[in-house]
Amino acid sequence: MDIGLSALYSEKAVKSGIDHHKADLIFASVPYKVLPAVQTPLYEQMKKKDAGFYKRLEKAGFMLDWGEDGSGLFMKYLRRGSGYYIDVGASELVCDGKIKLKSGVSVKEIKPHSIVFSDGSELEADLIIYATGYSSMNGWAARLISQEVADKVGKVWGLGSGTKKDPGPWEGELRNMWKPTQQEALWFHGGNLHQSRHYSQFLSLQLKARQEGIPTPVYGLPEVHHKA
């Protein structure tokens, strides 16, 4: 927040006349194509500023990376919506050894009081928390509506950057978000606070226009390149 967003979202920004409405618009105006080049130098600064912290994390076994091209967390978020952790306190517990990590193995068997891993090791456990992370919106469409509808809409979220979990071709904007899809009357909304606050305005206007019978021509629906 300090290095990447303080110019837009901070008390200092408010004093200079940039409220959250202006900040949202400015942030949304940056083309996704140029964002990696904008983000990379910011994450280089973060690496240096918190070098000791990241060194402690890696020493504890945390699988740390800065994205395939060094553009950091935010591009991972836009490209795939996964592969990152926003620290709210657990990282220090990892660094201090109070939370222990085991990487590079999968769960082979769950016993009454332990877990057996694929490398043959066994860990005693009183409680197992299955932290699944986020599921894809396309996957939820399949579960809530039908696989046929999900396949008709295609992949939701991601930019088509050609990086891990974000296959090309390049889309130029988030797939199937806040706009008409190949399935009539099915719309997708999601994202962080900025996106929810900003793009919900345009989504609601599109829906309201249709409800009121105002002509809303769509010049080309999103093409379907991936079904999952």
Q: Which two tokens stand for residue 16?
A: 């200079």
The pLDDT, as a whole number, for residue 104 is: 86
CA distances from 25 to 21, 103, 137, 195 (A): 6, 40, 25, 10
- Widest distance between CA atoms in the chain: 64
In sequence order, which residues have a C-beta less than 8 Å from that of residue 54 and are 6 or more positions away? Answer: 47, 64
CA distance 227 to 153: 8
The pLDDT, as a whole number, for residue 201 is: 95
Residue 31 within any structural domain of the chain: no
| CA terminus-to-terminus distance, the chain | 32
Number of domains in the chain: 1
Residue 75 within any structural domain of the chain: no
- The closest of 45, 78, 100, 87 to 174, measured between CA atoms, is 78
CA distance 2 to 11: 11
Whether residue 113 has pLDDT greater than 90: yes
Whether residue 21 has pLDDT greater than 80: yes
The pLDDT, as a whole number, for residue 158 is: 96
The answer to whether the beta carbons of residues 182 and 153 sit under 8 Å apart is yes
- The closest of 148, 143, 149, 134 to 190, measured between CA atoms, is 134
Residue 46 within any structural domain of the chain: no
Residue 225 within any structural domain of the chain: yes
Residue 56 within any structural domain of the chain: no
Residue 10 within any structural domain of the chain: no
Residue 42 within any structural domain of the chain: no
Residue 161 within any structural domain of the chain: yes
The answer to whether the beta carbons of residues 189 and 196 sit under 8 Å apart is yes
In sequence order, which residues have a C-beta less than 8 Å from that of residue 179 and are 6 or more positions away? Answer: 187, 203, 206, 222
Whether residue 132 has pLDDT greater than 90: no
**Angle made by CA atoms 106, 112, 113, in degrees to the nearest 5:** 75
**Angle made by CA atoms 74, 221, 25, in degrees to the nearest 5:** 40
pTM above 0.85, yes or no: yes
Q: How confident is the model at residue 144 (pLDDT cuts 50, 70, 90)?
A: very high
User: What are the pLDDT digits (tens) for 177-213?
Assistant: 999 999 999 999 999 999 999 999 999 999 999 999 9
Whether residue 33 has pLDDT greater than 90: yes
Segments of the chain assigned E as strands = 107-111, 114-117, 122-124
- Domain of 205 in residue numbering reads as 135-228
CA distances from 77 to 24, 36, 85, 227 (A): 17, 12, 10, 20
